[in-house]
Chains A and B, each alone.
Chain A
Amino acid sequence: MGKIPGAVVIVEEGLHGVRFFEFLTEEEREEFAEDSESATFEAGDKIIEEGAEPGNLFVLTSGSVEVSKKISGGGDLLLARIDAAEGRTVVGERGLLGESGASATVRAADPVEAIKIPRETFRRMVSEGRPAAFKLSYRIARTLARRLTRLDEEVVEAIRELESRGETDLEAFRDKLITDWAI
């Protein structure tokens, strides 16, 4: 895809306004801006599809999205609603770093504007040893670590509650939950 000179400027401004990228220096933000693309979605468009190959990171700059997951009995379970105006503005961070496919679908709830950092771009920056890519990884790793820790705490608390009430199915439940403890 040919690059429109003006597009870079727009993306760069986008990164400026986003808290998620504040840790980058001006220069590094420019590096990312050069390789990012702006993306727009209509209400109902899929931004990330559950089960798809690990893909891109999106920084939402306006609009809101819904995160849902298929459940085995059929139907969708709504996991979250994310509004670009309300702080948490990044989706797809795990796909950028990891090897497994998306675990949920992210769909535009109304018209969404976003900045896309393609996985290939990120990987290339990593293989070139560019500091900006590693700094972004640090942020993502911290986010994932905090989430895993909170999840672990919730699981332990739930198990303790159930045990105190004498739940019988506890063992199977516990084994399933504790398959992958984070040290």
Chain B
Amino acid sequence: MQGMPSLRDVPFFRHLNDDEREELEELLEPAAFEAGETIFEEGGPEDRLYVITLGTVEVHKAVIAGRRQHLATVEAPTIVGEMGLLTEPRATASVQARTPVEAYGIDRDRFLEMLDADAPAACKVVYEIGRTLAGRMARTDESIAGIIAQLERAGADDFTDFEIFQDRLIREWSF
């Protein structure tokens, strides 16, 4: 990897002005992953945020013991580790490079310090992350609504525990 990172090309950084971009660039550590290499291991630490500028990553989770469920394939430019930033620094799924990946790592603690100090650069990046999460939440809500409707249609006979499940899902609804 050569030269300074061009954050301008990454949608998450589009609201930054030159000063803010420079401020953030100080935190960036270039990182590269080979195809097949693990970026986050499920259950392991998620103490960095990666801005992926090149390549494709895959997300898996061991939903049922011994079986890895494919959750998503994500292409650059994107960010991984944003949930660790906003919640607990522990990976809830594994992220693996599918192709050679080029990225910039940002240390979670340093980024949180910037946020706590209300640094505009950090706040603006989180604004973009928030927009991504809002979209994700909307799609999740729709999936759940679909399942609930399906369950209601099917009748609850075979799914006696689903009412409890339904209640639990609904509690986390956002609008």
Contacts and interface: CB of A to CB of B under 8 A. Distances in A.
Interface of A: 48, 67, 69, 71-73, 77, 79-80, 91-95, 97-100, 102-104, 106, 126, 129, 131, 133-135, 137-138, 140-156, 158-161, 163, 173-174, 176-183
Interface of B: 15, 17, 40, 59, 61, 63-64, 69, 71-72, 74, 80-83, 86-88, 92-93, 95, 115, 118, 120, 123-124, 126-127, 129-131, 133-149, 152-153, 161, 165, 168-175
A66 to B, nearest CB: 12
Given A145-B83, A149-B83, A156-B63, A69 B134 contact: no
B169 A154 contact: yes
A49 to B, nearest CB: 10
Contact of A147 (B64, B165, B172): B172
| Main secondary structure on B side of the interface with A | helix
Nearest to A77: B148
| Main secondary structure on A side of the interface with B | helix
A98 B143 contact: no
B146 A103 contact: no
B116 to A, nearest CB: 10
Nearest to A105: B175
Given A138-B115, A173-B147, A159 B93 contact: no
Contacts of B146: 72, 176
B46 to A, nearest CB: 9
A103 B141 contact: yes
B143 A177 contact: yes
A137 B175 contact: no
A160 B140 contact: no
A166 to B, nearest CB: 12
A102 B146 CA distance: 15
B168 to A, nearest CB: 5
Contact of A148 (B140, B152, B165): B140
A131 B123 contact: yes
A94 B134 contact: yes
Given A103-B141, A137-B126, A142 B86 contact: yes
B143 A183 contact: no
Contacts of B130: 97, 137-138, 140-141, 144
Contact of A176 (B40, B115, B143, B173): B143
29 contacts: A67-B173, A80-B170, A94-B134, A94-B137, A97-B131, A98-B131, A98-B135, A100-B134, A103-B145, A103-B175, A135-B123, A137-B127, A138-B126, A141-B133, A147-B137, A154-B169, A156-B63, A159-B63, A160-B63, A161-B161, A176-B146, A179-B139, A180-B140, A180-B143, A181-B59, A182-B133, A183-B72, A183-B81, A183-B95
